[in-house]
A and B are shown apart, each in its own frame.
Chain A
Amino acid sequence: MNRRSLLQGLSFSMLAAKLSGTSSPFGEAEEPQPEPARPIAANDRVNIGIIGPGSRGQELIRQLLRTPGVEIAAQCDVYEPRFAEVNEFVGKKVPAYKDYRELLERKDLDAIFVATPPLFHAPCAIAALNSGRPVYCEKTIGFTPEECTNLVDAVARTGQIFQVGHQWRYGSWITDGIQRVQRGEIGEPTHVYGYFHRNDNWRREVPKPELEHLINWRLYRESSGGLLEELGSHFIDLANWVFGEQPQTILGTTSISTYNDGRTVGDNVQAVFGYSKGRTMFFSSILDNGIAGAQLWVYGTKGALQITLEDSTIYWEKAEMITAASHSKVIDRGLKTGASYQAETLTPYRGPGLRTQMKKEEDPTLTACKAFIQSVRTRKQPFANVDVGYGSGIACSIGRQAIFEGRVATLPQLKRLG
């Protein structure tokens, strides 16, 4: 796809400017508001403006509607049918804007949610921070490495609350599992394997052909980091949490094995991220077989943690040393020699009784939204802060290029403003 056809489909003015290299309308040049937003009292209503109420944005709104003391006060999208969809489930007419800068001019908004395609996350989030409002920004925080850095800088410069949409950090069963890993329950965690497999073309229905790139932005390199960014970023974030750091390197591959339908991102991705002390994270995503589903394994020297979207389970390795009463036989009769192959040592563990299972309760997106609103009220940075966002964002923005180009890439580590 060339730039012209992309632009025909994606009428977003920001994209036009971004791809043509002309002066930026994104707000980077705007002066930050010197005073941070006031704390909001416990009983005060928090007015939310949302930029990009598509499928993910609408899910955020649904969860915000379940959060006490929140009002959906403004929405912005370049695709107008979204407005009626939002009004329908919010139950009232939410003031709508086609230009996010007009939304940000509203003085009565207390916090901004950014759920656009990732290409616009950083520009919109930085402009919102500069306007003096706390920001909840969907992952990943930047499409390019520079955008990731710019967003970190903008949070530091404005002193605003910032939360990245890594809601899995707020899942009770995930938190429980990772805290068990951090307490040493599976020994030293050395490898994380994440699978996001599905049997689904990953394509959205398009009402008119000219809307293909606007609706199916996930399928095109110009506007999407593909499966690594959209699905892998959650797993990369969990690996970062487990290892307590961001990755240092990435090696990966991608191709189209089934869906030769004009898309330019792969329908499968395999990537290996390197961490310090030789630790690794492997991510696999395929779209033509869903048997493995979505699951993450944290492998430790004494056991493993499995995380799914519904529960988490700890498995322990079998004990290595057994005190046997028959040791005298070894001494008296000698050890018998024979074939060394033992199938049972290579068979995946399937035994009963060694599981510790933690179940899902509240939807983690709701928990994440509640946590953000609490942060807005208390002015305390949330758990999924901008550093967390940088960790997955830099991995995906560098990783995207490395995978497309088929090379090993080194990732820049987070640097704070001096």
Chain B
Amino acid sequence: MNHRKLPDLEYVDVRNKRRTRFGGLFAPPRATPSTTPLQLYSATHPAMGTEYSLYLYAHSGAHADSIAKPVFQEVDRVEGLLSNYQPGSELSRINREAFQHHVTTDPETFRFLETCLAWSERSQGAFDISVGKLMKVWKFFGASGAIPTPEELAAAREDVGWKKIKLDRTARTVRFLAAEIELDPGGVGKGYAVDRAVGVLRARQVGAALLSAGSSTIYALGAPPGEPGWKVRVPSARKGEDTVSTVILQDTSLSTANLSEKNFVHEGHLYGAIMDPRTLRPVEGMLQVTVISPSATDSDVLSNALFVSGPEDRAALLEGRQQACALVILENQLAAEYEATRWPAEVANGHLAELADAEER
């Protein structure tokens, strides 16, 4: 469910214009002189089927390296916990065993599943972590997609549905009520990993950093020196246009859901990898949803849930999340249409921000 086009990233380092890959050997631990000016460093790390990028201000390469290492270790740890591509992950173990018996899991995984089910309830099933089987019958798991047979779809209906996942908080167990249920963290995993990794940055008192999970979920921590925040550009869904809006973020996250990463065309029709778990079909009529929210888990989930939901449900979801801002781009034969809710920047073509708010007033 989590296949997005990458909003372009832009980082600003006005004074140094420096961007350095980490490398070299470890220097024995020593205090970094605080008089050394901060410089911008970047590092990348492959994880969760994409590339994580970290940009941060540090006093030296060794200093930056000492921060990047535990940040990416935390991303890897979360991947080892939640990946449905790794048979040894906790999520894979739950997928294998939870129909046969109550599976005792650790508190972190349990809380994660509680969060997912709460979002399913809140979004009336628009967000649903149980779509694993659906992704497989549409051949989006490890492939680029194909239309399933009616028999495959009928079988998948039995094996999809968040209400078939039962959690027992007292015993800390998970149980599936259908034999072939498969949890797929695609619409939430990267956001959760970003939140956890930002926790590592905060614990190390990092003042300014930008962490990007393949650019579909981004967290802006603090701001570059002398800047109001980190710039993130939201790409236009319309041909010939580069950017639809540029936002400046500080201590918040941004996630984008769109169809550019995984899709296929059949008889002239575009099928994307973002599924409506209720119809068991790819969502149509939507091009892109970008959400800004203090929690990366929330922005990741919400961008997908809004993508799947109809107009009224979108409004209701956003009404309940006053800290969230959204820019929704709808598919239109002639031109893209926009819905901006509490969006903090201008939108291209004269579509001004705060449209939704203005109407409310």
What is the interface of chain A, defined by CB distance below 8 A to chain B?
62, 65-69, 89-91, 201, 203, 205-206, 209, 212, 258-259, 261-262, 310, 359-363, 366
- Give B69's nearest chain A residue, CB to CB: A205
Residue pair A361, B88 in contact (C-beta under 8 Å): yes
Residues of B near A90 (CB, < 8 A) are: 107
- Give A59's nearest chain B residue, CB to CB: B77
CA distance A67 to B173 in the complex (A): 10
Which chain B residues in 198-223 approach chain A with CB under 8 Å? none
Residues of B near A363 (CB, < 8 A) are: 88, 93
- Contact among A67, A259, A360 with B104 in the assembled complex (CB-CB below 8 Å): A67
B105 is an interface residue with CB less than 8 A from chain A = yes
Residue pair A205, B29 in contact (C-beta under 8 Å): yes
Residues of B near A69 (CB, < 8 A) are: 104
CA distance A262 to B90 in the complex (A): 39
Given contacts A201-B26, A261-B26, contact A362 B93 (CB under 8 A): yes
Residues of B near A212 (CB, < 8 A) are: 29
A205 to B: closest C-beta gap in Å: 6
- Contact among B25, B93, B172 with A201 in the assembled complex (CB-CB below 8 Å): B25
Which chain B residues in 141-184 approach chain A with CB under 8 Å? 172-173
B311 is an interface residue with CB less than 8 A from chain A = no
Residue pair B90, A259 in contact (C-beta under 8 Å): no
Residues of B near A206 (CB, < 8 A) are: 29
Residues of A near B105 (CB, < 8 A) are: 65-66
CA distance A107 to B58 in the complex (A): 50
CA distance A206 to B26 in the complex (A): 13
Residue pair A65, B26 in contact (C-beta under 8 Å): no
CA distance A222 to B27 in the complex (A): 22
Residue pair B66, A205 in contact (C-beta under 8 Å): yes
Residue pair A360, B25 in contact (C-beta under 8 Å): no
Interface of A is mostly: loop
- Contact among A205, A209, A361, A366 with B87 in the assembled complex (CB-CB below 8 Å): A361
A-B contact pairs, 11 of them (CB 8 A): A65-B104, A66-B93, A66-B104, A66-B105, A66-B106, A68-B173, A205-B69, A209-B30, A262-B28, A310-B88, A362-B88
- Give B108's nearest chain A residue, CB to CB: A89
B46 is an interface residue with CB less than 8 A from chain A = no
B45 is an interface residue with CB less than 8 A from chain A = no
Known: A259-B25, A361-B96. 11 other contacts (CB 8 A): A62-B106, A66-B90, A66-B93, A89-B106, A89-B108, A201-B26, A203-B26, A205-B69, A310-B88, A362-B93, A366-B93
Which chain B residues in 52-109 approach chain A with CB under 8 Å? 66, 69-70, 87-88, 90, 92-93, 96, 102, 104-108
A216 to B: closest C-beta gap in Å: 9
Residues of B near A366 (CB, < 8 A) are: 93
CA distance A366 to B25 in the complex (A): 34
Q: Mark B8-41, 1 if CB is under 8 A from A, else 0.
A: 0000000000000000011111110000000000
CA distance A206 to B69 in the complex (A): 13
A55 to B: closest C-beta gap in Å: 10
Given contacts A67-B104, A68-B104, A89-B108, contact A258 B25 (CB under 8 A): yes
Interface of B is mostly: loop
Q: How many A-B residue pairs have CB under 8 A?
A: 54
Sorted from nearest, which 9 A-B pairs have the closest CB atoms?
A91-B107, A65-B106, A201-B26, A68-B104, A206-B29, A261-B28, A363-B88, A361-B87, A360-B88
Residues of A near B90 (CB, < 8 A) are: 66
- Contact among A89, A201, A203, A262 with B107 in the assembled complex (CB-CB below 8 Å): A89
CA distance A273 to B70 in the complex (A): 36
- Give B96's nearest chain A residue, CB to CB: A361
Which chain B residues in 303-348 approach chain A with CB under 8 Å? none
Given contacts A62-B106, A89-B106, contact A359 B26 (CB under 8 A): no
Residues of B near A258 (CB, < 8 A) are: 25
B314 to A: closest C-beta gap in Å: 34
A374 to B: closest C-beta gap in Å: 14
B77 to A: closest C-beta gap in Å: 10
CA distance A209 to B27 in the complex (A): 13
- Give A261's nearest chain B residue, CB to CB: B28
Residue pair A65, B107 in contact (C-beta under 8 Å): yes
CA distance A89 to B66 in the complex (A): 23
B109 to A: closest C-beta gap in Å: 8
* Most chain B beta carbons < 10 A, residue from A212, A258, A361, A363: A363
- Give B70's nearest chain A residue, CB to CB: A205
* Most chain B beta carbons < 10 A, residue from A68, A212, A258: A68
B234 to A: closest C-beta gap in Å: 35
Residues of B near A359 (CB, < 8 A) are: 87
CA distance A91 to B112 in the complex (A): 13
- Give B104's nearest chain A residue, CB to CB: A68
Residues of A near B88 (CB, < 8 A) are: 310, 360-363
Residues of A near B70 (CB, < 8 A) are: 205
CA distance A360 to B70 in the complex (A): 26
Residue pair B106, A259 in contact (C-beta under 8 Å): no
- Give B109's nearest chain A residue, CB to CB: A66
Residues of B near A262 (CB, < 8 A) are: 28
- Give A288's nearest chain B residue, CB to CB: B25
A243 to B: closest C-beta gap in Å: 28
CA distance A203 to B69 in the complex (A): 11
CA distance A258 to B88 in the complex (A): 34
Given contacts A66-B104, A67-B104, A361-B96, contact A259 B26 (CB under 8 A): yes
A8 to B: closest C-beta gap in Å: 15
CA distance A185 to B69 in the complex (A): 42
CA distance A316 to B108 in the complex (A): 44
Residues of B near A68 (CB, < 8 A) are: 102, 104, 173
B202 to A: closest C-beta gap in Å: 14
CA distance A205 to B105 in the complex (A): 30
A37 to B: closest C-beta gap in Å: 23
CA distance A69 to B173 in the complex (A): 11
A240 to B: closest C-beta gap in Å: 24
CA distance A205 to B27 in the complex (A): 11
